Amino acid sequence: MTILYLTYIDFGDFQSGSSVRPQMMYEAFLSLGCEVKLLQAQQNRREQRRHAVEEINRWLDTNRPDFCYVESPSGPIFHSFDRKLLRRVHKMGIPVGYFYRDAAFRFDEVFISGRKSLKQHVIAWMSERDVRFLKKNTDLVYLPTESMAQYFDFPHVAFLPPACMGSRGDKLGKLPGKRSIYVGGVSKRYGTDTLLKAFDLLNGDGDEFPLTLVCRPQGVAYIDEKVRNKPWLRLVHASGAKELAPLYAQADLALYPIEKNAYNDFAFSVKLMEYLEYGLPMVAVNCTETEKFIQRYSLGLVCENDPADFAEKVSELLRDTELYARCAKNAAQAVQGNLWTDRAKTVLADLGGSQGEKQA
């Protein structure tokens, strides 16, 4: 089976979910025996992008893929030549599936404080233009979660949540220690205030429940200097599997404190799947899709968007050895069925018809 696969990134950078997903799907398609014609290039490198699109157009002159799969950019489609390419593929009668990853432009109350800038107005307009364009030029729009569907009226929708690469470790048969880990952004929206207040409640001036907080260097400025010097807090700058693996191995519990709001209720982080790869039980704020995921597989505990409740759930999970053992076992088992190859098989079955079902 031949797939025309359109992305909006340069492969090789795994700094964010928007770069992880396209590359993992590419590898998954290849592992399933598909022939993949790939378009990769960042939008903000216009000439590089234009040449890459021109090469795909030349390829289409003499080739016809079984279907086209698109991993959307982080934001709107900038260039008219990208839209022309999608329009051409659709007019050729090639099934087009488009993974639509985000809807931040419809949540000003979450992402914008004060008045919108001109740039923000333009991005919102371009994003709404994309929605209209996709309704006419795709056959199936994939969303990351079911909760996101209520904000759109695409004619044909299916769901492709994030996935994982497979087991990288587990906590089976291990008595829990007291070390927790959080990996991600640092801000009010990411729940940093809730997280740090919770661990201050757990520890006071001691360090019974140590926390490893992994973030980018610029994130440290958000954390008050007094908190940075607390004995229970370890700040680390690391990224990529090689640097994160030993930190996950040292941890007993993974945390996801992101602020509960309308946007985060439908969002689902790739980070949760990374926690799953390392077999870590979890404590998370009860955002809708996060809560559904943790409860579906019994991976840990969910709490209110409240430091005291967060602290209570961390303490409960790390002190209750039977509960911890069940969550560790469930995490190890939940990897299966949540692989990137499972995600790719869904696309093959949806867009490849009988050939996709046979190949998957």
- Domains defined along the chain, listed by start: 2-163+339-359 (3.40.50.2000), 180-334 (3.40.50.2000)
- Band the pLDDT of 14: cuts 50, 70, 90: low
> In whole angstroms, what is the distance from residue 111 CA to residue 116 CA?
10
**278-297 pLDDT, tens per residue?**
999 999 999 999 999 999 99
Paired with 37 in beta bridges are: 4
68 close to 33: Cβ distance less than 8 angstroms: no
**107-134 pLDDT, tens per residue?**
988 888 888 899 999 999 999 999 999 9
Q: Are strands 180-183 and 253-256 parallel, antiparallel or unpaired?
A: parallel
Section 256-274 average pLDDT = 95
Within 10 Å of residue 284's Cβ, how many Cβ atoms?
A: 25
> In whole angstroms, what is the distance from residue 140 CA to residue 221 CA?
43
**298-347 pLDDT, tens per residue?**
999 999 999 999 999 999 999 999 999 999 999 999 999 999 999 999 99
182's tokens: 């959080």
Q: Average per-residue pLDDT in the chain?
A: 94
**123-178 pLDDT, tens per residue?**
999 999 999 999 999 999 999 999 999 999 999 999 998 899 999 999 999 988 99
Instruction: Give the 3-state secondary structure of residue 273.
Output: helix
CB-based contacts of 43, cutoff 8 Å, min separation 6: 8, 49, 73, 77, 78, 79, 82
Chain-centre distance for alpha carbon 25 = 13
> In whole angstroms, what is the distance from residue 110 CA to residue 112 CA?
6
Instruction: Give the 3-state secondary structure of residue 325.
Output: helix
In degrees and rounded to multiples of 5, residue 114 shows phi and psi of: 85, -155
